[in-house]
Amino acid sequence: MNAQTRIDPPKRERLVVIGNGMAGCRAVEEVLERDPGRFDIVIFGAEPRVNYNRIMLSPVLAGEKTFDEIVINTAEWYAENGIELVSGDPVEHIDRETMSVISRSGRVEPYDRLLIATGSDPFIIPIPGNDFPGVVTFRDLDDVDRMLAAAELGGDAVVIGGGLLGLEAAHGLSLRGMKVTVVHLMPTLMERQLDEAAGYLLRQELESRGQTILTSANTRVIHGIEGRVAGIELEDGTRVKADIVVMAAGIKPSITLAKAAGLECERGIMVDDHMVTSDPAILAVGECVQHRGLCYGLVAPLWEMCRALADYLTDAPTGYLGSVTSTKLKVSGIDLFSAGDFSGGADCEDIVMRDAARGVYKRVVVKGDKVVGAVLYGDTADGNWYFDLLKKEEDISDIREALIFGQAFAAGGALADPNAAVAALSDDAEICGCNGVSKGKVVQCIVGGAHSLDAVRSQCKASGSCGSCTNLVESLLAITLGGEVQTGPKTMCKCTSFTHDDVRRNIVEKQLKLIPEVMQELHWTTPDGCSSCRPALNYYLLCAWPGEYQDDEKSRFVNERLHANIQKDGTYSVVPRFFGGITNPTELRAIADVVEKYDAPMVKVTGGQRLDIFGIRKEDLPAVWADLNAAGLVSGHAYGKALRTVKTCVGSEWCRFGTQDSTGLGVKLEHLTWGSYMPHKFKMAVSGCPRNCAEATIKDFGVICVDSGYELHVGGNGGIHLRGTDLLCKVETEEEAMETCIAFIQLYRETGHYLERTAPWLERKGLDWIKAQLFDDPGSIPELAARFRLSQKFWQVDPWARRAGGAHRNLHSHLAEIRPLAMENA
């Protein structure tokens, strides 16, 4: 073949997704997990926001969580996976003939495969007055905002519907100070999930919390005054005052779009076991579908559908065979679990246990030596076990007598330890119903390095939503890791009884300058520490004694030791630094030469305006860095607990909206701060005007250029938990911006816990405290900045100088020699 012949990669299929909700995005996640390069993906969402956990709207309403805490896929996730999100512009027409969709704005998007994930619509009871202002549903964040606005004014709330959603809405409004009445058509609350006895206990508990519960109550009309809702009237003539009425009487699959396109629909969009509709190019998933005659309104079946769909799209078809569902109520202080069929019958046997003093009720329904249903109230610890027995249709004849007492007793007392009970669950037993995570997947995350509850949540999402499975995840951590579980913020790690703050204070007060010295003086319970405390101690000593303490490479993570990011295939990725996102031909040629010389299979433009070289072998890393250093390129510290990037826009030099030289300031900030060893990764950005193209308001430190100078923002995070920045101050000059920046960084370095980003650090310490440390004393910023510059003299060193046999020198001098020559050669 001619060396000049170019072979273009095969064109990827275009997957268009209608619906940016839980089902649509989960299906995309499953596809990406199996074959990330298979499709070009476009997602249309009706709401003007990213994907969030809809089942966690109840805790948001109750004030137990914020919206940021229930976001599933951040804007960064879409970008990193090459997904185009079209938010706030719903699809209104599907043209099957041309294989394209048309959105409300008129955008036409062609597809090779179309996925419909339109979810469900709330059922609006067809009674007079249902369209009054103040009558709301409970399906999305806008509904929650409307309820919160009503709650701020106080008054009376009526919730029509005593099912899951209705009771969660009532709980939230009650906590917000409203007087709540629940109106339910059936005699028993949550009659689809609870029997009469459990429903009675639930009603008692809710009434003890101040709610009024009206069962067997049919709403006849909604009354209004001056064009706004004022109350309801029941069939028996009873009137209930209301400043807000929440319709939570059920849902129905959203099939209008599919029906208009001519797809086969009954109650939902008809799909086969691979989630394919009557059109082979169109699939559907979630609450909008009907599979084998059933529509599902709970989250667990959605996850099972998504897995089957992703298998089919990536040519490994398995098939969805239907779901057995379980239910938990997300109302704090109420433990309730229900699964399967508890209607009973002549061929069924009920096993019941009641403990009136504890408010516990348990009922297990057995049919032919198999569990077919379970209702638990007050003690739900064995819910997952019963559910596992039910799904697998296990023969329980040998444990029949002890079944009602739970897994520990059923195993003859061998599982009295709750951790052992969790250990006995099968690998495919469901641990987290909110996110569809099995025991096997949780254990896989733990074995793969997730050694704390937060780490498990970030990797596989288990316990990251309603939190009801937290105790199960903690048990799996204890079982899998033994004593190595990172238990949280109380102590630094298992090796010590001291907190991070205690350790930092003692290092300074007692003049401790070696890791063994710290461990001896502070009574470490292990001889050499662990993988949690050694990196932290190394950082705290470096921060406290710059120039005196010698960096201990053994106490750094592998990525930091090798100055590259290890990948899942055992190779490494190398990220040279582009100061402010600017490069030149010499640097680009050097990167191209490295890619060819070391046979790197991929080069990717990162979100931080750099190039990431993938597939470098470990043994080649020193030579790779030597070649890159020769062209003036230094490490971008993509692996480091350090400054990562300074993202910039072109600013006033090129942009007609730019108010200041944002690129120039970004380059100066990066030269000033790069290589800074910090508690965690640190990202900055400089936007040349309030349009904020560089996304400065989701960075650890962001600068917004304005006509009068610079707005300095801090504490942002665009990762798993999206957090916007807080305004720190406004300054007039670049010099003030740079001095304030390094003073802020130094304050974070001196008071942050190791592996604590600026966002949680800011929330822990408080913005007012940070401002006081910086601005109350005129000498604070100069003193902090001086300490920053002192530490930089000893932290910014050429990572490969010693390995390559060269001098161990400051890289600023290295740049001073090489980078101007590179720019001149360009």
Q: Point out the annotated binding site for [4Fe-4S] cluster.
A: 649, 655, 689, 693
Angle between helices 758-765 and 767-775 (to 10 degrees): 90
Instruction: Kindly list the distances between the CA atom of residue 457 and the CA atoms of 30, 82, 95, 753, in Å, as whole numbers in the listed order.
Output: 17, 24, 40, 20
Tokens coding 496: 């010590």
CA angle 583/589/594 to nearest 5° reads 110
Name the β-bridge partners of 159: 182, 246
Max distance between CA atoms of the chain, in angstroms, equals: 92
- Nearest CA to 770 out of 790, 750, 794, 796 is that of 750
Total count of residues recorded for the chain: 826
Helix axes 533-544, 780-795, angle to 10 degrees: 120
Report the binding-site residues for siroheme.
693
What share of residues in the chain are helix, strand, coil (percent, to 5)?
Answer: 35, 20, 40
Class of residue 99 by CB neighbours under 10 A (exposed 0-12, middle 13-18, buried 19+): middle
| Strand ordering across the sheet containing 179-183 | 135-137, 244-247, 156-160, 179-183, 212-214
Tokens standing for 437? 């995570």
DSSP string covering 522-535: TT-SSSS--TTHHH
Beta strands in 563-605 (DSSP E): 565-566, 572-574, 602-605
Q: Is 357 helix (H, G, I), strand (E, B) or coil?
A: coil
* β pairing state of 251-253 and 244-247: unpaired
Distance, CA of 492 to CA of 762 (rounded, Å) = 19
Contact 385, 421 (CB under 8 A): yes
For 108-112, which contacts have Cβ atoms below 8 Å and span 24 or more sequence positions? 109/16, 109/42, 109/44, 110/14, 110/16, 111/14, 111/15, 111/16, 111/281, 112/13, 112/14, 112/15, 112/281
Q: Provide the β-strand partners of residue 345.
A: none
Residues making up the binding site: 649, 655, 689, 693
Number of Cβ atoms within 10 Å of the Cβ of 163? 21
Identify whether the C-beta of residue 199 lies closer than 8 Å to the C-beta of residue 361: no
Residues 481/483/489/491 CA torsion (nearest 10 deg): -160
Helix (H, G, I), strand (E, B) or coil at 497: coil
The pair of three-digit structure tokens given for residue 486, joined into one six-digit string = 């990172």
- The answer for residues whose C-beta is within 8 angstroms of residue 401's C-beta and 6 or more apart is none
Q: Distance between CA atoms of 485 and 754, rounded to whole angstroms? A: 17
Pairwise CA distance, residues 526 & 141, whole Å: 49
Q: Are 120 and 287 in contact (CB under 8 A)?
A: yes
Beta strands in 166-319, from DSSP E residues, in sequence order:
179-183, 212-214, 219-225, 228-234, 239-241, 244-247, 251-253, 269-271, 282-284, 289-291
Adjacent-strand bridge partners of 115: 17, 283
In the chain, the amino acid numbered 208 is S
| Run of H or E including 365 | strand 360-366
Cα Rg, the chain, nearest whole Å:
30
Q: DSSP character for 674?
A: T
CB-based contact 601:615 (threshold 8 Å):
yes
